[in-house]
Amino acid sequence: MATHASAVKRNRQRIKRTDRHRATKSGLRTQLKKARAAVAAPSATTAAVVVSAVSALDRAASKGSIPAKRASRVKGRLAAALHKAKAAG
């Protein structure tokens, strides 16, 4: 257990930050799951679902919950999958 005041404060900050990132990442995973399912079974709303997932990725990267390069990589893969699904169907 932390004994110095600065260590106690850092622990409080760590707990708040962890909770905030956990909530952001959880919502992001849900959005990505919906987007991947939409790409796998294309419909009229597939593009809108992918756009909302890309927005969630940008939001998570801007908050520092995930690295910016990871967000970029996932966005590229989603866009490629969407393009492939549109070309096939």
* pLDDT (mean) for 68-77: 98
Confidence of residue 2 (pLDDT cuts 50, 70, 90): confident
Q: What is the 3-state secondary structure (H, E, C) of the chain?
A: CCCCHHHHHHHHHHHHHHHHHHHHHHHHHHHHHHHHHHHHCCCCCHHHHHHHHHHHHHHHHHHCCCCHHHHHHHHHHHHHHHHHHHHHC
Could you tell me the pLDDT band of residue 22, with boundaries at 50, 70 and 90?
A: very high
Rounded distance, CA 13 to CA 27, Å? 22
Q: Is residue 16 part of a domain?
A: no
Q: Is 12 a domain residue?
A: no
- Whether 83 shows a pLDDT value over 80: the answer reads yes
pLDDT in tens, 26-56: 999 999 999 999 999 988 999 999 999 999 9
Report yes or no on 10 lying in a domain.
no
Contact call for residues 46 and 38 (beta carbons, < 8 A): yes
pLDDT at 4 over 90: yes
Is 65 inside any structural domain?
A: yes
Q: How confident is the model at residue 21 (pLDDT cuts 50, 70, 90)?
A: very high
What pLDDT score was predicted for residue 16?
96
Q: Please count the structural domains in the chain.
A: 1
pTM (2 decimals)? Answer: 0.86
> Domain for residue 8, yes or no?
no
* Structural domain containing residue 41: 25-88
Q: Within a domain: residue 61?
A: yes
